[in-house]
Structure 1
């Protein structure tokens, strides 16, 4: 093993690309400052945070040390089944986050100390509680050691962990996606496709810091795909709510551009803080803040009570309640059972695998046929025809004249009347 490989193995594993960006913004570091400290360009740092590339060697060690969280808020490393259980419990709401312990309570907003005045993120449904006023961050207590596994305790299987995550997050995620698209069938389809993709990549999703956020981002990306406009069933949104207030909010959401609508839903509806919203929408934090302000102003033109609200915290609380009420009032379709989603994901994976194998086999057969029928030596091409002159006329018997025909006829008639020795006899 070389020295560079040994140094790279000694560096702790880097967090996910979205977490790298959150940690950098939590320390108030810009991309230029990180690039200057590590010795790379700004574009390289941006590619690290989007997941296109990953640092190596000495730059990896410097980058990991630069964005490493503070020891007081460093998350405890748990085994994958326990991580999934705690992440699922944290996505259930503030009460479950408090029951998960100090390590679960010290989320992204507590680490940055600059989160918005909104409630804790709720991944199962749009939260019902209004946003809490912003308070000064307290010194978090050190994370407790993970409890030791009892000898007789049963370990959670991947299917059970997936089913638990699906049961907690799928119904609320369908309502969120409905507010994002205005189409009930598309909302259900998007959530089911996101969970099918999550089951195919479950080893990656299981160790993610926020599995519910991973599924939510996949569902939003599928739901906002412009290719759905070509489908007849999803070409037009469903009928709006009949209540005037809910209909005005519904129309205001659908009139927003997709990126602004998603930012507003994540921040004021789901309850993410601004850095998390910016990371999930793949935008900078100032750009996400600008989209949020523009979207709020556009919605306030349709909702007079939102325009009359005083502080931004009151506007966020009012919009939070209105979005939650709209999501709960609409009758969205219930997603399929988790077992059916897992079975569909496995069937789809088998179908793509068989298609890939068939494609490779067809390519091999065509290649073999080409090699078998291809010429083994060079064959010069046939020269194009040319007109040849100076050749003598064709010889041979000429056309008989009338006199020649008369003589031929007389000879053929006199042959039978000649001498006896010349007459043929049949025996």
Structure 2
């Protein structure tokens, strides 16, 4: 049986250019093809490719063969600029590492569209609560292309930090740890700012770093981690947070990224470093665990809404961007000074060892060898006449006591 050749597809960069040339947004293309906006974004990033009828319709739409009513919103503008100039950084996930070839279907073949068993893609409907509370999916305001690195970092922080603090709180159930995780993630981003600014998705880079720091098992060794924090005030919020914290960390993170943040399955799998089928299984098991304890949250849209309510009820506030940048610079200075001090100590110890160590080899003495240079032991010789007379005189004296030692007058 022969296979019908697929319609030639332009490169991802060319697809994006053709879409913007027709003044179409990703939402317009998604609505015309009957897919999600995340799927179109994945096509333009090159992570997946459309197949079948979607591929043909996508090519016809880009080439202008089909008429589509343009959406009112503009394409995603640039978010941050690099240290030497502006950089296009729309909220797309960074490209994952290529997987080794195998006989199994690829991620795009397994999940090019939302899985009916998993329910519709969340954060796609008219639910304004989550867009501002958990998910940085809203279109950022266009920024001036002549931004300094400080201004670009502050813009990224102001756009992502409030949502990241709420997401991290749902992952850990700890308010201070959530703030600390976000601050450490942004401090690392500021330390590696040229790399982060050139990334396709700076917000996703910081989100992945904050989530990994928050879920690190080393926090269990900290003394303050042993003291539980006060739970949420509302009983329903306490019940949902308790269910989330009882899930394994990878299941909890997968549920939050898909049902909370609104990523699709390939993006969720890439961020959690898993395959798409593995991410789907984790999501199904996590939803089943939540629905078992809280049956009213069996619907994905209701779970999506409740996650946003629990996250926004705590009134978590992130630190100011200037404070985060200053803290990152201070930490870099401390680590630099510590490295210099350690190097100086290592050089001093090496120098002392070289000065005190022997500079030539001294072979040990063989067992039983004669030692030369030691004077012989002298034995007592015969007594002289005077010594014999003195000994006789001493023996002849009958006086005992100290008088024997006192000389007599002559």
| TM bucket, shorter chain | 0.5 to 0.7
Q: Paired residue for 1:331? A: 315
1:380 offset after TM fit, Å? 1.2
Q: Secondary structure at the match of 1:233?
A: helix
1:397 offset after TM fit, Å? 4.5
Q: Paired residue for 2:24? A: none
Counterpart among 163, 169, 172 of residue 178 in structure 1 = 169
The total of aligned residue pairs comes to 305
Q: How does 1:390-405 map to 2 (within 5 A)?
A: 395-397=379-381, 405=391
Q: Does 1:114 align with 2:105?
A: no
Q: Secondary structure at the match of 2:90?
A: helix
1:235-294 Cα deviation digits (max 9, x unpaired): 344222232322221111011000000000000001011111001101110000000000
1:343-372 Cα deviation digits (max 9, x unpaired): 111111111112112222222222222222
Q: Does 1:381 align with 2:367?
A: no
Q: Paired residue for 1:87? A: 90
Q: Does 1:341 align with 2:345?
A: no
Q: Does 1:366 align with 2:346?
A: no
Counterpart among 225, 235, 243 of residue 234 in structure 1 = 225
**8 A Cα contact 1:128 1:321, kept in partner:** no
Counterpart among 334, 354, 360 of residue 351 in structure 1 = 334
What TM-score, normalized by structure 2, do the two folds share?
Answer: 0.63
Q: Which moved more, 1:348-357 or 1:189-198?
A: 348-357
Q: Does 1:125 align with 2:116?
A: no
**8 A Cα contact 1:186 1:234, kept in partner:** no
In structure 1, how many angstroms separate the alpha carbons of the residues matched to 2:206 and 2:169?
15
1:96-144 Cα deviation digits (max 9, x unpaired): xxxxxxxxxxxxx9xx852552225978632599xxxxxxxxxxxxxxx
Name stretches of at least 5 consecutive residues in structure 2 with no aligned partner: 1-12, 14-41, 52-58, 64-74, 94-107, 115-119, 398-404
Counterpart among 269, 289, 300 of residue 298 in structure 1 = 289
**8 A Cα contact 2:121 2:262, kept in partner:** no
1:207 offset after TM fit, Å? 0.9
Name stretches of at least 5 consecutive residues in structure 1 with no aligned partner: 1-11, 13-18, 29-69, 92-108, 130-146, 308-314, 418-427
1:285-333 Cα deviation digits (max 9, x unpaired): 00000000000000001212223xxxxxxx221111010011111233x
In structure 1, how many angstroms separate the alpha carbons of the residues matched to 2:355 and 2:175?
56
The change in CA–CA distance for 1:187 and 1:272 in structure 2 (over 3 A counts) is same
In structure 2, how many angstroms separate the alpha carbons of the residues matched to 1:171 and 1:156?
22
Q: Does 1:322 align with 2:306?
A: yes
The change in CA–CA distance for 1:381 and 1:393 in structure 2 (over 3 A counts) is closer
The change in CA–CA distance for 1:414 and 1:345 in structure 2 (over 3 A counts) is closer
**8 A Cα contact 2:190 2:325, kept in partner:** yes
What TM-score, normalized by structure 1, do the two folds share?
Answer: 0.61
Q: Whose helix proportion is higher, 1 or 2?
A: 1
